[in-house]
C-alpha cells in the first residue's frame, strides 16, 4: 500500500467537502448529496481494488 493512495483519498475528501459546502450554501442540497455519494463510490472503488490486490498476494503466498 502506498502513501499515494492515502493522499488521493484525502484529496477526494477535501474536494467533495468543498463542493458540498458550496452547493449547500447555494440551495442545491440534492446536488450536494449526489456529489457526496459520488465521492464515496470513487473512494470505495479505490479501496476495493486494493483489497483485491491484497487477496491476490495472500493467495500467491500460500500457493492456492
The band of 63, judged by pLDDT with boundaries at 50, 70 and 90, is: confident
What is the value of pTM for the model shown?
0.81
pLDDT value of residue 33: 96
Nearest to 34 by CA among 24, 26, 44, 47: 24
* Total residues belonging to the chain: 64
Residue 1 pLDDT exceeds 70 = no
Note the pLDDT tens digit of each residue in 11-61. 999 999 999 999 999 999 999 999 999 999 999 999 999 999 999 999 999
Mark residue 28 as left, alpha or beta (left: phi above 0; alpha: psi -120 to 50; beta: remaining).
beta
Amino acid at each position: 500500500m502506498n502513501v499515494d493512495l492515502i493522499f488521493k483519498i484525502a484529496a477526494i475528501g477535501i474536494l467533495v467537502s468543498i463542493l458540498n459546502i458550496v452547493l449547500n450554501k447555494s440551495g442545491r442540497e440534492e446536488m450536494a448529496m449526489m456529489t457526496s455519494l459520488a465521492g464515496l463510490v470513487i473512494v470505495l472503488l479505490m479501496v476495493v481494488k486494493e483489497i483485491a490486490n491484497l487477496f491476490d498476494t495472500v493467495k500467491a503466498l500460500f500457493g492456492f
